[in-house]
A and B are shown apart, each in its own frame.
Chain A
Amino acid sequence: MLRREVLKNLALVGTTSLLTTVPFLGRANSGAVNHNAVNYKALFKKALRHNPELIGFANIESNFSETKLKLEGKLPSELKGQFYRNGPGKHERGDIRYQHLFEGDGMLQHFHLDGNNVYHRGKFIETPKFKKEESAKQFLYSGPDTKIANSLPVSSSNDVNTANTNVISVGNDLWALWEAGAPSKINPHNLQFEDQVNLGTGSKYGNSLKGLPFSAHPKIDPNGDIWNFGLNGSGHVVLYHLSAKGQTKNVKLINAQYKGTMLHDFLITDRSILLILPSLISERSHNSGYFESIDFAPQMPMRVLVVNKSDLTLKREFELPPGFAFHFGNAWEENDGTIHFDASLYPNINILHKMSRLMQGDVKQEEVNGNTTLFTLHNNGKTSQHSFNDISEFPRVSNHKVGLKNHKLYHLSSAHDSLWSDAVVSLDVDSGKEDKFSYGSEFLVEEHVPVNPRAKEGHGYLIGTALHIPTQRTCLNVFDLANLKAGPRCRAWLPYHLPLGFHGNFVTS
């Protein structure tokens, strides 16, 4: 390597826009506190007194040591395994309360089902950020929306990785996921944080994948392979194909030209990857937060990029009517190339800003509901869609149906003006028939996941947590997958409540 070239490379350290292209992060601030500072902590505390349903968003002080749950009904003896969930638990330190629900440090909840009993423990993920701030007893880094005075500089998104969104099982480890940075490797026996995963290790990619974003919604093929993506602020997307054990097989950059700055989920079929780019723009100025700046662009088509799984090259592109979705349930492809997929679709981005209002205790609901929408992408380039007259979020399909034609879609629902979900639904996507159980207004219901012990769709169990507002306790619920409206066949109670989280998975023993 010539000396000249060495020096040229050094020059890149100055001229490369380090981190200006990372979308998720806050802005460097000079140390001045936000002049429009609103005391979120005081507002929330006051609002909690009048709106007890806000308990789900209260700060969690410490870890939960192992607790045996109190059972109502009987656990299915074949349902043995671990149910893991992840979500933000540390919303406050000192006088500061985070301004957006997505900012808090991740906390893992682990339910152990042994066929007779259920045990729970909960542990904050001790990321580098968490360790530093726990030691200092205050937030040291600004969040995507929350500015901290005299915040520590950030040279890499992993400096502020909260690992707070999802948790999956990879080989013998758990990976806690946060879409703007690397997965966090967790020891499943003691829930200890071990390391941030350097994805290229042991592969031809070497260190070139270190620090890249890895979304919180990887898709696992029925054969076990892991597919995922990561968004760069430039609008480029990195695509990953990993083995079931997390070894990197193939990685490519796609210039998606996506300016929405936030891309939460994607889909796979047996042959393709679908990057579904919602109609978002970012009006970010120096003083505004990351989530705060995201707007819905009502004239902008939602775009679908179809990528070949075999070589990660772009195959074709479709345009859909404007829309936004956090989550997609599933996609599948017919022999002739026709693609079907579903989304919990919104006509605006109000739901994102609701997650900020919640943090100050504002429970106002304003057109914040999404509904189940089925899309068809035809070979001739035309598209069609059908929206159900429902309210829908946190869609899931059975693991063995990922990327294949599914007949059932499981999702949460709510009454029109509910703060959070309060019902679970099994939707027959062919007939539109709903099998629904309403927990009622006393419960805040979290994502429920299907478990199919014999890999037969519609047969098995639906498992999920719900926070009982009046008694401030969380329960774990097990439903018969074929009969949700009969209610849970087993409910296991904790003596305390868990912070409302995002995503999780059941790992069979």
Chain B
Amino acid sequence: MKFTLIKTSVATITATLLTLSATQVSAQNIQFEINGVNSDKGKLYVQLFKGKENYDAGKAESSLIIRAKPGTNTVTFNSVDTGEYAVRFFHDENNNGELEFNLFGMPVEGYGFSNDAQPNFGPAKYKHMKFDVTNTDETVINKSNVIY
């Protein structure tokens, strides 16, 4: 009885491990580099989205908040599955936890997107900011400049 149980448990664990290694080895990282931060005021809020649907819905895969420092700031999203991603971020300069807008709905704090995708007479388009994480990547590096 005991032997069978152990055998089953080992089998189950092995099967699980095999399954994991076959489909979901999360060995990839995304290193996101934000350039041109203009002060050490406040924080940078950085969101990672997996796929267009989640981006459009505002459903983040992961969020990171770091203290801002002038110049280049780098965050890393660890153990990321393969797939298509987008990053957007803002510089919460007045440290009130929100992205400020003017009365007509335009951001008045710094913000940006992966691939340095630019708004152009309208919001930056998902298709310009998306990038892939594949099995062959260990660390995917993506860069952006803050739009102030």
Contacts and interface: CB of A to CB of B under 8 A. Distances in A.
A16 B101 contact: yes
A367 B58 CA distance: 53
A18 B58 contact: no
B23 interface: no
Contacts of B133: none
B103 A26 contact: no
Contacts of A25: 121
Contact of A14 (B55, B63, B109, B118): B55
B100 interface: yes
B100 A19 contact: no
Contacts of A10: 45, 47, 58, 88, 90, 99
Main secondary structure of the interface of B (DSSP, over half): loop
Nearest to A156: B106
Contacts of B147: 155
A1 B100 contact: no
Interface of B: 45, 47, 55-56, 58, 60, 63, 88, 90, 94, 96-109, 111, 118-124, 126, 147
A212 B107 CA distance: 11
A234 B104 CA distance: 9
A212 B102 CA distance: 7
A28 B123 CA distance: 11
A27 B101 CA distance: 22
A13 B45 CA distance: 12
Task: Tell which of B56, B101, B126 has the most Cβ of chain A within 10 Å.
Answer: B101
Nearest to B96: A1
A18 B108 contact: no
A7 B58 contact: yes
Count class of interface residues, chain A: 35 or more
Interface of A: 1, 3, 5-22, 25-28, 153-156, 206-212, 232, 234, 236, 238, 251, 253
B106 A211 contact: yes
Given A19-B121, A25-B121, A207 B108 contact: yes
A153 B113 CA distance: 14
Nearest to A155: B119
Q: Would you list the 9 A-B pairs with minimal beta carbon distance, nearest first?
A: A1-B97, A11-B58, A153-B120, A153-B118, A28-B120, A207-B108, A210-B108, A155-B119, A9-B98
B42 to A, nearest CB: 12
Among B100, B111, B121, B147, chain A packs the most CB atoms within 10 A around the CB of B121
Contacts of B47: 7, 10
A21 B98 contact: no
Contacts of B124: 14
